[in-house]
Amino acid sequence: MNRLTVVALLAALALGASAEMYLRPMAGGEPVEVTMERFSVGAALKALGTMNTGMERLAKLEKPGKGKDAQAKAIMREREAYDAPRVLKGTLLKQDYLIKKLRYELALEQYKKGELGAERFAVLNTEYQGAETAFKDFWNTFGGFAD
């Protein structure tokens, strides 16, 4: 590698951790920070709860047709309605856990080198522990798929 490439690579790595991407405000002028919160794990989990409630209500309203095929299709729809929100919830919680684990591991190395204060390290540790607990709680109550 030539010198310029190495310097550019080092600069990109150094800036990558602190650079923020630019996002324009949504139509209607909602601030980017507010919109980003709509895409948070908490907001997604709340939306999943709403979806799950709606799907359960819909499953109760549907009346299966007659015959083995109709009953089999009705059972499959119920299973899909039951599993889909749970899969999404598990995925979100797993991703949140993995991200916070990586952030914690990076913070631990920075803390050991004196590059990160104890207060910030404690916050990241608490976030990591919370995400781990949330995913484990979900895992322990998941019980498997309906199929």
Q: pLDDT tens-digit profile of 98-110?
A: 999 999 999 999 9
What is the predicted pLDDT for the residue at 62? 65
51-63 residues labelled b (16+ CB within 10 A) or e (exposed)? ebeebeeeeeeee
Q: In the chain, what percentage of residues exceed pLDDT 70?
A: 66
**By the 8 A CB rule, do 107 and 116 touch?**
yes
Mean pLDDT of the chain: 77
Q: What is the distance between the alpha carbons of residues 122 and 128, in angstroms, rounded to a whole number?
A: 10
DSSP state letters, the chain: --HHHHHHHHHHHHHHTT-----PPPTT---HHHHHHHTSHHHHHHHHHHHHHHHHHHHHH----SSHHHHHHHHHHHHHHHHHHHHHHHHHHHHHHHHHHHHHHHHHHHHHTT-S-HHHHHHHHHHHHHHHHHHHHHHHHH-----
pLDDT 10s digits, 37-93: 777 788 788 888 888 787 777 777 766 666 777 766 666 666 666 677 777 888 889
Confidence class for position 123, pLDDT limits 50, 70, 90: very high
**pTM for this predicted structure:** 0.60
Using pLDDT thresholds of 50, 70 and 90, give the confidence band for residue 16: very low
- Average pLDDT over every residue of 133-144: 83
pLDDT beyond 70 at 19: no
